[in-house]
Amino acid sequence: MKQELLQAGAALALLAACGAAPAQVAGTLSVRAGVTHIAPRTDSDNLTAPSFPNTKVDVGSASALTGGITYMVTDHWALDLPMGLPFKHSFYGDGAIAGVGKLGETKVIPATLFAQYRFGAAQAAFRPYVGLGVTYSRFFKNRSTAALTGVTGGSPANPTTAYIDNQWGLTPQVGVVWNFHERWFLDAAYYKSFLKTTAHLSTGQTIGMRLNPDVFSLGLGYRF
């Protein structure tokens, strides 16, 4: 009897271990919630005439609450769709107008669809991955300041306004998933979005910007 009980206990322990093992197998759907930080690496063109020579802009970083949905197409290939609240970025004077301070701000929603390849076995606790995505960046709620009006020849009665072109860009990605529970996991990723856009001012001037941001994301996820 004692031997039978020991065997039964061992069998139950093995079943429990198998049931608790994390799996990212074909057909698995997971969701996550967390935070993302976007740090543009701005390379600004000169503001078109009439303007001071070497009139450029810089773009500040922004963070927002984000999440995402991941679907495992196979045990190794996945489709991932990040989602979240809009990011609010501020624009500052650079080059010849570096001392004027904040010129304006904009909100952006970067919609990206990633194709990911996940290394290791489906049951592995840690699964590094690489991805490549296509990003559509939509800019909206553009606001300008008196500083922008001042450097572009506007007036309080006729302040300078701006809008920014929406653009597409490629986004490579690296990351890792830590499956610390049968269904719960942590997802950490870094990606680089290659994005160039143009700001159009109500004065008729334009300025091109290569933003090419570094993006860092961390999320707590649940697997169905």
**pLDDT single digits (tens) 53-90:** 999 999 999 999 999 999 999 999 999 999 999 999 99
Q: Which helix (H) or strand (E) holds 125?
A: none
Number of domains in the chain: 1
The percent of residues in the chain predicted with pLDDT above 70, rounded, is: 90
Residue 12 lies in a domain: no
Other Cβ atoms closer than 10 A to 72 = 22
Residue 40 lies in a domain: yes
From CA 164, how far away is CA 170, in angstroms rounded? 19
* Host domain of residue 124: 27-223
Q: Model pTM greater than 0.75?
A: yes
What is the distance of C-alpha 90 from the center of its chain?
A: 17
Residue 170 lies in a domain: yes
From CA 192, how far away is CA 216, in angstroms rounded? 9
- Look at residues 134, 119, 114, 113 and name the one whose alpha carbon lies nearest to residue 177: 119
Residue 1 lies in a domain: no
207 pLDDT exceeds 70? yes
Residue-level pLDDT at 29: 96
How does pLDDT run across 152-200, given as a tens digit for each residue? 888 888 999 999 999 999 999 999 999 999 899 999 999 999 999 999 9
Residue-level pLDDT at 6: 43
CATH (domain of 154): 2.40.160.20
